[in-house]
């Protein structure tokens, strides 16, 4: 159990993970999501395959993992919501409590991501529905789906975009499911989802990957994902890989600080962080090995970007035996992964509200979700009827963009890198050394190595993403 009695509503003990395994599963659940299944293959495909993948793995090891450990250790030490945890560590280190702002920013960032993440979660539910109806009506080999033309299949997504009320409804459904589990609390809700859904997710992932490897173009995929060609490693490719590593590990957004705050004192954080980063990277790679053989076997292009999962893949499912059933299982798997991530995006603002205003969890959850629903509806509608609605259009970075793209750009290009840079500086330079040493579970040379990374490499590399994100022209991106 998380052991602190502080930071909760008047007099009640603070909730926490029931075991180390529960924490590991919940943190893997947060990390593994649309980022692995949708964004990673799309980014790898759009950025030339092998060079991106190899650089990505380096980023996870040298930058993602040290920051992940830094975030969880702040949370575990603070045993409170993310901003309060940072403030406590700052005060004990005789530093200014204003450092708490780094996590305030993270809480706001996770709220913003939640709002549009649930919109994409809604698209996933839509595809679950399409495949489920086909399988129920016509059996695993499908009927209606089988007879659709390639154009009709590719039009499914734009057709959904054109239907504003349906998109908002699906967004509300996905957010509603997320809300239900977060309202039930850490051990009773979030942990429950992780314990049941993550194993189910892994079974589905392995089963579909084996199916895809046996029946699809596996050798071509391996060559594509793992052939490292130096000349493809350009500035924009490196930055895309670093940004992807960050998004995938749920960093820079108070999320892992919050999850860390529910961990008991006896857990070795260096060990658990390594397991979480390893599992997340393995899932991203397996997702590539699962998706591309199907795409290549159908003779389709790998570089469709975001359309890869929602347009190219359904097209490929059509041409394989049992495709509709595989499609159904595939999108159920994506929905499960997205749900264990969306609960981790809702939890930081909810924990903050409980701490800050002493409002009980179900009410806090309802208030945050209502706010996310309003923003989410604006994002959903920015694909069609409100395409003219460009809230930050006066800033050159966001010129001509709808709400969805503005929120995506704002969080990925500003909130995540700024949050992570401040975390690295805070843990590397500001926090009391003895406090950090006693929390991080590292000894000797490994500790020294981690400190070097957190102090130097992480802030500098992250500053690189920040500048490149803000001034793409500088990097030719
Ligand atoms: N890591 C999640 C994914 O890969 O889909 C997304 C995410 C969750 C990002 C939580 C940030 C976060 F705080």
- Find out whether 381 and 168 touch, Cβ atoms under 8 Å: yes
Question: What is the whole-number distance in angstroms between the Cα of residue 96 and the centre of ligand 1?
Answer: 29
Closest residue to atom 7 of ligand 1, CA basis = 250
At residue 13, does pLDDT exceed 80? no
Of 75-79, 129-133, 210-214, which range is least confident? 210-214
Look at ligand 1, atom 12, and give the residue with the nearest C-alpha. 250
**What residue has token string 């949050």?**
419
> How far, in Å, from the CA of 340 to the mean position of ligand 1?
9
Q: How far is the CA of 413 from the centre of ligand 1 (A)?
A: 14
Inter-residue contact 392 to 382 (CB < 8 Å): no
| Spacing, Cα 194 to ligand 1 middle (Å) | 14
Phi/psi of residue 32, nearest 5 degrees: -80, 120
Structure tokens at 340: 């264990």
Residue 94: is it exposed, middle or buried by C-beta count within 10 angstroms (0-12/13-18/19+)?
Answer: exposed
Pairwise pLDDT comparison (319 vs 66), residue with the higher score: 66
d(CA 384, CA 465): 31
Q: How far is CA 11 from CA 4, 195, 357, 360, in A?
A: 11, 28, 14, 12
Average pLDDT of the segment spanning 223-251: 86
Report how far ligand 1's centroid is from the alpha carbon of 29 (Å).
Answer: 9
* Per-residue pLDDT at 396: 60
3-state secondary structure of 121: helix
- Centre of ligand 1 to C-alpha 298, Å, is 30
Pocket of ligand 1 (CB under 6 A): 30-31, 33-36, 110, 113, 247-248, 250, 253, 255, 341, 344-345
pLDDT at 7 > cutoff 80: no
Pocket test for ligand 1, best of 26, 28, 29, 31 (most atoms within 8 A of CB): 31
So where are the chain's domains? 20-475
Percent with pLDDT over 90 in the chain = 60
The length of the chain is: 477
Most confident range, picked from 160-169, 281-290, 363-372, 411-420 = 363-372
Task: Write out the two tokens for 161.
Answer: 């975009």
Atom of ligand 1 nearest to the CA of 253: 13
pLDDT tens readout for residues 119-170: 999 999 999 999 998 888 887 766 667 778 878 888 898 899 889 899 999 9
Which string of DSSP letters, residue by residue, matches 154-196?
A: HTHHHHHHH-HHHHHHHHHHHHHHHHHHHHT-IIIIIHHHHHH
Pocket test of ligand 1: the residue of 75, 182, 280, 345 to mutate, having most ligand atoms within 8 Å of its CB, is 345
Q: Determine the 3-state secondary structure of 467 from DSSP.
A: helix
Smallest CA separation from ligand 1 atom 4, residue: 35
Residue 274 has pLDDT above 60, yes or no: yes
* Res 249 pLDDT > 60: yes
With the most atoms of ligand 1 within 8 angstroms of its CB, the residue from 27, 35, 256, 410 to mutate is 35
CATH of segment(s) 20-475: 1.20.1740
Largest pairwise CA distance in the chain: 68
pLDDT, position 6: 39
**Which H or E run contains 377?**
helix 361-381
Determine which of 57-61, 297-301, 399-403, 468-472 has the lowest per-residue pLDDT on average: 399-403
Name the DSSP letter for residue 62: I
Split at pLDDT 50, 70, 90, the class of 432 is: very high
pLDDT exceeds cutoff 90 at 73? yes
> Would you state the pLDDT for residue 284?
94
pLDDT in tens, 451-461: 999 999 999 99
What is the average pLDDT value for the chain, to the nearest integer? Answer: 88
Q: Which atom of ligand 1 is nearest to the CA of 33?
A: 5
Distance CA 466, CA 472 (A): 10
């Amino acid at each position: 159990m998380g052991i602190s009695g502080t930071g909760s509503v008047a007099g009640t003990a603070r909730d926490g993970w029931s075991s180390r395994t529960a924490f590991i599963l919940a943190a893997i659940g947060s990390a593994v999501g649309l980022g692995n299944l949708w964004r990673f293959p799309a980014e790898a495909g759009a950025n030339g395959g092998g060079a991106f993948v190899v650089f990505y793995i380096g980023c996870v090891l040298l930058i993602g993992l040290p920051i992940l450990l830094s975030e969880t250790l702040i949370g575990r030490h603070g045993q409170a919501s993310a901003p309060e945890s940072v403030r406590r560590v700052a005060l004990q280190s005789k530093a200014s409590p204003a450092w708490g702002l780094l996590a305030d920013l993270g809480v706001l960032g996770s709220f913003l991501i939640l709002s549009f993440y649930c919109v994409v979660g809604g698209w996933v539910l839509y595809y679950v529905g399409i495949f489920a109806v086909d399988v129920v009506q016509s059996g695993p080999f499908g009927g209606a789906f089988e007879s659709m033309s390639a154009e009709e299949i590719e039009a499914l997504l734009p057709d959904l975009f054109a239907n504003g009320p349906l998109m908002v409804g699906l967004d509300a459904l996905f957010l509603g499911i997320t809300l239900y589990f977060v309202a039930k609390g850490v051990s009773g809700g979030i942990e429950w989802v992780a314990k049941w859904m993550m194993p189910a997710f892994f079974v589905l992932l392995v089963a579909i990957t084996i199916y895809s490897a046996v029946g699809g173009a596996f050798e071509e995929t391996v060559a594509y994902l793992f052939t490292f060609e130096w000349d493809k490693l350009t500035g924009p490719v490196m930055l895309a890989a670093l940004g992807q590593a960050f998004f995938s590990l749920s960093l820079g957004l108070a999320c892992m600080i919050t999850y860390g705050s529910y961990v008991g004192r006896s857990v070795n954080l260096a060990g658990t962080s390594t397991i979480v980063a390893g599992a997340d990277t393995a899932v991203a790679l397996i997702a590539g090995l699962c998706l591309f053989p199907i795409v290549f076997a159908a003779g389709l292009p790998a570089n469709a970007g975001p359309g890869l999962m929602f347009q190219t893949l359904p097209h490929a499912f059509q041409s394989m035996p049992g495709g509709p059933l595989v499609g159904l299982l595939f999108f159920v798997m994506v929905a499960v992964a997205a749900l264990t991530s969306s609960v981790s995006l809702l939890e930081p603002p909810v924990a903050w509200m409980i701490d800050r205003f002493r409002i009980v969890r179900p009410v806090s959850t309802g208030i945050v979700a209502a706010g996310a629903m309003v923003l989410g509806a604006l994002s959903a509608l920015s694909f069609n009827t409100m395409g003219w609605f460009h809230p930050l259009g006066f800033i050159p970075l966001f010129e001509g963009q709808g709400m969805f793209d503005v929120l995506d750009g704002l969080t990925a290009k500003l909130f995540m890198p700024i949050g992570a840079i401040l975390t690295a500086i805070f843990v590397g330079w500001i926090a009391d050394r003895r406090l950090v040493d006693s929390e991080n579970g590292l000894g000797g040379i490994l500790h020294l190595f981690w400190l070097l990374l957190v102090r130097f490499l992480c802030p500098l590399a992250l500053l690189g993403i920040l500048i490149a994100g803000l001034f793409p022209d500088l990097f030719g991106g």
